[in-house]
Chain A
Amino acid sequence: MSPAPMSPEEQVQAALKALADHDRPRESQTTAQQIFRLRPVSRWKTGTGYAVLAAAAAIVALLLRTPAAPVLPTPVSQVVSQPAAVVPEPAAPEAAFAKTDVVMAVPVRRTRASAPVRREVVTEFFSLMDAPPPFERGQLLRVVVPASTMRSVGLPVNPDRWSERIQADVLVGEEGMARAIRFVSYQE
């Protein structure tokens, strides 16, 4: 006795089931370890590394100066407890300086107390991490970095001034990673 003929729908289902059964054991040959090592964390790690290196180099350079030279308050550590510190600050009129070509001949040496008072102007914070973990506490370190650092966060810098040194505040999280940076200038 011959089996009942299959409808076209049943034939399609049977064909698809056969293909699914045939493919079921097939899997990727790539291992999880290989993929995990390819995950793109290196970019911000590298950026963070550069920032930390630059900060360390600047601190060392400051320490090696003659005692007579006025030394920046390094590190001027303020305890920052609000994640909002990374959020751009309210736009002061001076805050736009980073967008201009006045890429800052920031005098690192400070004048004496009798000199006219200079006002500090800062840019907004620029994140140094692509996907930072939640921020709880950290420190704000005042450091001196080459002006070329501004390029790394996308700010325009005149190539002639890449080697100039400028001041910056680096926000370092409790875990020790540099999360954000802002640049400092002074106005009389």
Chain B
Amino acid sequence: MASRAEVLTSAPVASVTMTADQQQTDPELLTQALAGREDRFAELYGRRQGGVFRFALQMSGSVAVAEDVTQETFLALLTHGTRFDPARGSVAAFLYGIARNVVLRRLEHERRFEQEEDSCADGDVLDDLTRSQSIERVREAVLCLPPVYREVIVLCDLQETSYEEAATALACPIGTVRSRLNRGRAMLAQKLCITLSVSPCRERQTVRSLE
């Protein structure tokens, strides 16, 4: 009994003052949003839109595309949210799965109708070196990865989702996520080394500057 009292008194104030609304889980918020509660949707959106937006941004490299994808993803959530099954994964993974489909569709569309500008070709190494922002060089290296490797890098390394969530979002086994992640990282290392290998000293300096 004493230990129970201790636990209660040592509980952080924030958890004591937390309202019932703040404690609602994503599936609960989704259920209420689907029933027409705009405030619940707004709360769920506030929690998850950043991740979806960044996922789309890092997959596409375009803020405009990321905005569209975010909007389409949450609209799809409102339309097909009843298909969400908590037993199969989290709401976040469900959202990433939708966003992934939307992004891939957009990328395919743009690849078909736009002129291909292969800025990722090895010949652009010198151009890359002239760029001032190292971050953008890393972003471009990520964007150069084939989509199947890019999506695992973005989800696991950039969005820091678990392998399980990534597997749910990508609709593939965890082992596939791991292997694609390893392969993707190796390809990324190769691309960054290509970019940086002109001057080993500069390579080290660039990486240090990123830290």
Q: Could you tell me which A residues sit within 8 Å of B by CB distance?
A: 3, 5-6, 8-9, 11-20, 22-24, 26-30, 32-36, 38-40, 131
Measured CB to CB, the residues of B under 8 A from A are 38, 41-42, 45-46, 49-50, 52-54, 57-58, 66-67, 70-71, 74-75, 78-79, 82, 134-135, 138-139, 141-142, 153, 157-160, 185, 188-189, 192-193, 203-204, 207-208, 210-211
List, in ascending order, chain A residues with CB within 8 A of B53's CB.
26-28
- What are 7 sample pairs from A and B whose C-beta atoms fall under 8 A apart? A11-B203, A12-B192, A13-B157, A14-B211, A18-B135, A19-B210, A27-B49
Counting chain B CB atoms within 10 Å of each CB, which of A11, A14, A18 scores highest? A11
Evaluate contact between B192 and A28: CB separation under 8 angstroms: no
Q: How many A-B residue pairs have CB under 8 A?
A: 107
Say which residue of A8, A19, A26 sits within 8 Å of B142 (CB atoms): A19
CB-CB nearest in chain B for A18: B210
Asked if B157 and A11 sit within 8 Å, CB to CB, the answer is: no
How far is the CB of B87 from the nearest CB of chain A, in Å? 21
In terms of DSSP, what is the predominant structure of the interface of chain A? helix
A20-B42 in contact (CB<8A): no
Nearest residue (CB) in A for B190 is A8
**Which 4 pairs, one residue from A and one from B, show the smallest C-beta to C-beta distance?**
A18-B210, A32-B45, A32-B42, A39-B78
Alpha-carbon gap, A39 to B33, bound state (A): 11
Across-interface contacts of B57 in A (CB, < 8 A):
23, 26
**Structural contact, B193 and A8, CB atoms closer than 8 A:** yes
B78, A36: Cβ atoms closer than 8 Å = yes
